[in-house]
Amino acid sequence: MQKLFFLFTAVMLLSLMSCKKSDDPKPAPHLLSVYLSDNPADLDEVRIDIHSVEVKIDEGNSGDEQMIARLDDNRSNDSLGAPGLTLWHGGIPAGDSNEYGKWMALDFTPGVYDILKLRNGIDMLLGSVETPGTVRKIRVALGNNNSVVKEGTQYPLSLSDDSTNHHIYIDVLKESRIINGDGSVAVYLDFDLGRSVTENEGSYLLFPYLRTLPADRSLEIEGYAFPAEAAVMVSVYNNTDTATVLPGDDGYFKIRGLELGRYNVKYHAGNSAYKDTTIQNFDITINKVVLPEMTLSKH
């Protein structure tokens, strides 16, 4: 029987410099940068083969972003998912239409990246590009050289389609763009491997799932979970949002990107010798929350 093996949160930060308004209908170029960070899983390594990262730039008027996203999806076949969510094209030819914008490649170094080196709020710069307008979509191309390492043994992490045309598309809407004090704009992506990676009888399968995070992502939840041998996975969730992280070797964890509200906090034991524990109806009313230390007990 197939099961979800782990949850993982990777964050790509797109940062672009804005400019002053002018009478020219076309905005001046902006600097766009992409960063990657991770909340880890109970594997030694997760190696993702990234070939390229591109952004779709709209040089015209912004208009109704929801409408543009839907029209763009339907007419250019760039994406068919809900706004802000990912579509995994697999073997379907990528949507290269420049309607509602044009694709621009980041100055990105292709390679295999061990995502688990990035944990608990650490970001990594992937690349940058000067852009003349508003970022509408992100397109990530993956290769086939993906793998995981568990207990010192490397296993192939197979993409869900045999084709070599593996593209991930993510819509970027206004609520996902962070306007900084210096005029720059940032967009964060959440790479949820809890939905993207499965284990089936010792084999690992990758079906990428990404989403944009809300612009107001100042909320941080941190704490400690013990013991290490329990392989604790921490999930903070309610009816509308979920974030999950595996603590580091010292038990420390940090979750970012949620909104204020009421949540349940579940400490799930990856080691079946330990009991799961859930804190229900935990109200988060301030931007930085430190949870009490949690130690799971044995059955």
Mean pLDDT, to the nearest integer, of 114-133? 69
Q: How confident is the model at residue 91 (pLDDT cuts 50, 70, 90)?
A: very low
Residue-range domains of the chain with CATH: 3-212 (no CATH), 220-295 (2.60.40.1120)
Indicate if the pLDDT at residue 223 is higher than 90: yes
What mean pLDDT is reported for the chain? 73
- As given in the structure block, the two tokens for residue 96 are 């290269």
Question: pLDDT by residue (tens digit) across 35-84?
Answer: 454 433 567 788 889 899 888 888 775 455 555 554 444 333 444 444 45
Instruction: Quickly tell me which residue has 């941080």 as its tokens.
Output: 220
pLDDT of residue 279: 95
Alpha carbon separation from 278 to 15, 150, 267 (Å, rounded) = 37, 27, 6
Question: pLDDT by residue (tens digit) across 232-274?
Answer: 988 898 988 878 777 888 999 888 777 889 999 999 998 899 9
Across 69-107, b (16+ Cβ under 10 Å) vs e yields: bbebbeebbbbebebbebbbbeeeebbeeeebbbbbebe
Give 69's DSSP letter: H
Indicate if the pLDDT at residue 10 is higher than 80: no
- Window from 177-181, 262-266, 287-291 with minimum mean pLDDT: 177-181
Cβ atoms of 137 and 86 within 8 Å: the answer is no
Indicate if the pLDDT at residue 87 is higher than 80: no
Give the C-alpha separation, 208 to 224, whole Å.
29
Q: How confident is the model at residue 89 (pLDDT cuts 50, 70, 90)?
A: low
Beta partners for residue 85, in sequence order = 211
Indicate if the pLDDT at residue 170 is higher than 50: yes
pLDDT of residue 23: 44
Mean pLDDT, to the nearest integer, of 5-28? 44
Residue 121: exposure state from Cβ atoms within 10 A (0-12, 13-18, ≥19): middle
Say which amino acid occupies 21: K
